Structure 1
Amino acid sequence: MNSATTITTGIDGSPASLDAADWAAREAGRRRLPLRLLHAGTQHRVSARVPDVDVPAGCTRSALDRAAIQLAYAHPALDIVARDTETPAVPALLAAAAESETLVLGTRGRTDHSAQAGFLAGSVALAVAASAACPVVLVRAGELPSDEREFTPGGTPPSTAPYRPVVLGLDLERPADNLIGYAFDTAAVRSAPLLVVHAWTPPPYGDRGPAVPSPDASPSEVSPSDVPSADDVRDHETGRRRALAGTLRSWCHKFPDVPVVEEVVHGRPGDQLLRVSTGAGLLVVGRRAGERLGRAARTAIRQVTCPVAVVPHD
């Protein structure tokens, strides 16, 4: 994981970026880290420590100033630093990611048809999530503090309700320590349960047959013995369950207070992540360093309603 000790969030004045900034402030408070607000692509560069940000009488506060002051009032114990930069959005955010433990960005909600062209538009968020050196958390517009906690009827204050589960989508062929460690650590700082999901699709043909039948082969040339039986599928699934348990065993010992649920399911990873993220507080997915976002990660970013953390790994 990144050794830097700050949470950074992008500010462009849009509701999406402000909701992301509030999520970032809560995350910084949970981790006892300072919060850095970054406003990119401006003409005048300003660096200030909140609550010292002030504007002379008669001047209009910038979006960065307003966000910094609002967050300082909402989170008075938090160390907040606000910074403007003339660097364009993507390179500025990627540079900030190299110095941050986590980078938090806002994304437009599926029902948000605003034409405002802020620097946190979907293409920028995707570009940063696909290349950043640290985990990037994408927070959808409209995210509220209560959304990351369980609903508890009976008058329990939302701020004291238990956190919703953290969900980790795990590819057993690439069970990277950075990815697993981030998910366990995130669940630990919330005292939340961790649901680890591995999705797989049973192969249509057994080991003795081709993975995909030849386009020139006639149906009579495909032997029934090449088609896996129900027992074969169960054996494969049992093997994957054992592999998942073995992969997580040392992490469960390292984080004994984190309740862990392991789930091996049939189906496309993206579809299964959409299913299990319903009711989650955070979905964690991986991205192999130097590669583009995978299909499952892109599906999650575009469709999952809870915040999504994209974690780079080797």
Structure 2
Amino acid sequence: MVRYIMVGLDGSSESRAAAEWAVREAKLRELPLRLVHVWEPVPEPMAQAPLLGTETLKHWSERIPRGAAEGLRARHPGVDVAAVQLAGVPADVLVDVARDAELVVLGSRGLSGIAGFMVGSVGQSVIARTEVPVVVVRSGEQAADEHAMDPAGIPSAATRFRPVLLGLDTRSPDDTVIAFAFEEAARRDTSLRVLHAWTPPPYNIYGLSDHVSFYDELARENATALTEALRPWRDKYPAVEVIEASRAGSAADQIVSSSRYASLVVVGRRTRRSRFGVHIGPVAHAVLHHALAPVAVVAHG
């Protein structure tokens, strides 16, 4: 079966930005792109209305994926772009279709006046329920935003890609997440910045001199752990420049702060379930809502 990149498309500006990002990713991966528009049938009383009937709404909604596909084909003639419209509950349908995808791409509204995303209930449900990597792209995202500044100080698609940023927990580094980040950096011919955050000890349980010594030792241990976790991956991807950063503090805060210099942010999400259902995880949730670059959430065991 031929794998593909899937985009959830609803006609909004954020889903159009997601489709534009996805078609560029499809070109990098040499994969076809499938646009999926989910049509949710209206309640029976509304379906009887002459101007809001089921067939009328379906007809108008069919124009969304068809028009988007035509535009993408015209702008990216080398990419195989297909569009499909399906009926049902959007989150359920997207999760089901995603089973055969290599990557799922969703859009997110930018928060007005605030750096970050607004990930809706459908997006959060898809991220939490699918085991396929999901990339969230903010409305207004441009191809140039992923690239370094040109000599005039303006982001340009003609310059090198900005680094891929990976948030890594060295206590439980997962091969799936790390491999995804290295592959994305290799495809973009750019560097991979790996950020590990660790929790410093509370000041009040040590004398000053003891605390400074213990803090320095923890810093060295965490830096060493990061280096060791990445050693086999450096050997596997010798062409990818790896920049390591091990810092004390909040993982989410540090990833969000560093995201302004990244072309793509990669974080992991555990697939385990709790009695309260499925969850994205606190770090991934915070990064999704506040990062300044597209965010890839990679599920792992």
Q: Does the pair score TM above 0.5?
A: yes
Instruction: Count residues in correspondence.
Output: 277
RMSD between aligned residues: 2.7
1:63 matched to 2:64: yes
Q: What is the DSSP-based 3-state SS (H/G/I as helix, E as strand, rest coil) of the residue aligned with 2:240?
A: coil
Q: What is the DSSP-based 3-state SS (H/G/I as helix, E as strand, rest coil) of the residue aligned with 1:160?
A: coil
Q: Judging changes above 3 Å, is the alpha-carbon distance between structure 1 residues 65 and 121 closer, same or farther for their aligned structure 2 residues?
A: farther
- Among 300, 304, 307, the alignment partner of 2:287 is 300
Structure 1, unmatched stretches of 5+, are: 44-58, 114-119, 206-221
Question: C-alpha displacement at 1:68, in angstroms?
Answer: 0.6
Output the amino acid matched with 1:265.
R
Name 2:226's counterpart in structure 1.
244
Please list every run of at least 4 consecutive aligned residues from structure 1 whose deviation after the TM superposition is greater than 4 angstroms.
Answer: 154-157, 222-228
Q: Judging changes above 3 Å, is the alpha-carbon distance between structure 1 residues 173 and 238 closer, same or farther for their aligned structure 2 residues?
A: same
Structure 2, unmatched stretches of 5+, are: 42-59, 274-278
Output the amino acid matched with 2:72.
L
Q: What is the DSSP-based 3-state SS (H/G/I as helix, E as strand, rest coil) of the residue aligned with 2:157?
A: helix
Instruction: Give the helix-richer structure, 1 or 2.
Output: 2
Structure 2 counterparts to residues 41-52 of structure 1, below 5 A: 41-42=39-40
CA distance in 1: counterparts of 2:206 and 2:28, whole angstroms: 57
Question: C-alpha displacement at 1:112, in angstroms?
Answer: 8.7
Q: Deviations over 1:254-309 (max 9, x none)?
A: 11111100000111111111111112111000001124222111111111121000
Contact 1:4 1:101 in 2 (8 A): no
Question: C-alpha displacement at 1:16, in angstroms?
Answer: 0.4
Structure 2 counterparts to residues 109-188 of structure 1, below 5 A: 109-111=110-112, 122-153=120-151, 158-188=156-186
Name 1:253's counterpart in structure 2.
235
Contact 1:166 1:282 in 2 (8 A): yes
Name 2:272's counterpart in structure 1.
290
Structure 1 window deviating more from structure 2 (79-88 vs 146-155): it is: 146-155
CA distance in 2: counterparts of 1:92 and 1:112, whole angstroms: 33
Contact 1:6 1:35 in 2 (8 A): yes
CA distance in 2: counterparts of 1:105 and 1:94, whole angstroms: 12
Contact 2:131 2:300 in 1 (8 A): no
CA distance in 2: counterparts of 1:110 and 1:60, whole angstroms: 26
Contact 2:197 2:247 in 1 (8 A): yes
Q: What is the DSSP-based 3-state SS (H/G/I as helix, E as strand, rest coil) of the residue aligned with 1:161?
A: coil
Question: C-alpha displacement at 1:225, in angstroms?
Answer: 6.5
Question: C-alpha displacement at 1:227, in angstroms?
Answer: 9.9
Structure 2 counterparts to residues 194-213 of structure 1, below 5 A: 194-204=192-202
Question: C-alpha displacement at 1:4, in angstroms?
Answer: 6.7
Contact 1:10 1:17 in 2 (8 A): yes
Contact 2:144 2:155 in 1 (8 A): no
Question: C-alpha displacement at 1:204, in angstroms?
Answer: 2.1
Q: What is the DSSP-based 3-state SS (H/G/I as helix, E as strand, rest coil) of the residue aligned with 2:129?
A: coil
CA distance in 1: counterparts of 2:61 and 2:229, whole angstroms: 54
- Mark the structure with the bigger radius of gyration: 1
Question: C-alpha displacement at 1:60, in angstroms?
Answer: 9.0
TM-score by length of 2: 0.85
